Chains A and B, each alone.
Chain A
Amino acid sequence: MDEFERALMEALHREAAPEGFAERVVARAGPVKAGGRIWWKKRAFQWSLAAGLAATLLAGGLIEHRREQQIRGERAREELMLALRITGVKLHAVQERLAEMDREGGKQ
């Protein structure tokens, strides 16, 4: 390092920061932090709202699904009962026919 470089180094010494610099930075950081909190709260509210909506939709869907299953079950039971009734009527007709045939055979 020659004389010129040494003079340059002396000329480019570190200056002291202006009076109250650190306080001004910290004061400016306040709104940044507060802003950050507000942003975080807003985002949390949005997420909880979305989660609540999703939960409501899911619960509604489950209730509807159960109701449909119940209706389907009732309809199947009714159809079975009808089929049993029809079968019963048919069996009764067949029994009567057989009894009639027996009676006719006895007369001859």
Chain B
Amino acid sequence: MSTSWRTLETIVRKHQSMVFSIALRITGDWGAAEEAAQDVFLALYRSLDGLTSEEHVLFWLRKAVVHRATDYRRRFARMPEMRGEAVNDLPGNPNDGDPLQTRHLQQLVACLPENLRAAIVLRYQEEMMPEEIAQTLEMPVATVKSNLQRGLDLLRRKAEKVLR
């Protein structure tokens, strides 16, 4: 792939929603998500010559945004004054069945432990299979399956309390 602005712009336009949404679910903060997503695309721009196909680009972006957003989340945890607009402050999607339930679920996902949150986001936002998640997060498939199960159980228990 040739490194050109046009290539970068095409890739950004195609994948911006995916990258930004993963960053948003992991950081739980609108501003941090945008910064993390921008950083990921700039890093991609520098590595573009090493990427051989569309699938490679997609895999690279997902992996990079999970790492970058996790870094931002940790940094924000150390500096709470840096937090901007949180997930629950954002306007809801008009297509959501129950906006209140949607927002609560988003909040609950944002509060999950780091390792469970990444797996849940990739499974239920990106609709990735455990094997794909394992490759992206560089962990065994069994660990991913266990994280998904634990994350789901935790969300169910919390949702029962909150949405009762």
Min CB distance, B127 to chain A, in Å?
7
**Which among A16, A24, A29, A33 has the greatest number of chain B C-beta atoms within 10 A?**
A29
Min CB distance, B12 to chain A, in Å?
4
B-facing residues in A25-42 (Cβ within 8 Å): 25-26, 28-29, 32-33
Residues of A within 8 A of B (CB-CB), count: 23
Contact present for A32 and B37 (CB under 8 Å): no
Q: How far is the CA of A94 from the CA of B93 in the complex (A)?
A: 126
What 0/1 pattern do residues 7 to 21 of A give for CB contact below 8 A with B?
Answer: 111111111111001
Interface size class of B (residues with CB under 8 A): 35 or more
Contact present for B12 and A12 (CB under 8 Å): no
Interface of A is mostly: helix
Q: Is A5 at the interface (CB under 8 A from chain B)?
A: yes
Q: Which single residue of chain A is at the shortest CB-CB distance from B24?
A: A15
Contact present for B9 and A22 (CB under 8 Å): yes
Known contacts A11-B109, A12-B25, A26-B8; is-contact A32 B13 (Cβ 8 Å) = no
Q: Is B155 at the interface (CB under 8 A from chain A)?
A: yes
Q: Which single residue of chain A is at the shortest CB-CB distance from B25?
A: A12
Top 6 nearest A-B pairs (CB, nearest first) are A11-B105, A17-B16, A12-B125, A17-B20, A14-B21, A11-B102
B residues in contact (CB < 8 Å) with A: 5, 8-9, 12-13, 16-21, 24-25, 30, 34, 37-38, 41-42, 45-46, 90, 93, 95-97, 101-103, 105-106, 109, 120-121, 124-125, 127, 152, 155-156, 159
**Further 15 A-B residue pairs, CB within 8 A, beyond A8-B152, A12-B25, A17-B34:** A5-B124, A8-B105, A9-B124, A10-B96, A11-B101, A11-B103, A13-B96, A14-B17, A14-B21, A17-B16, A21-B37, A24-B38, A25-B16, A29-B41, A32-B42
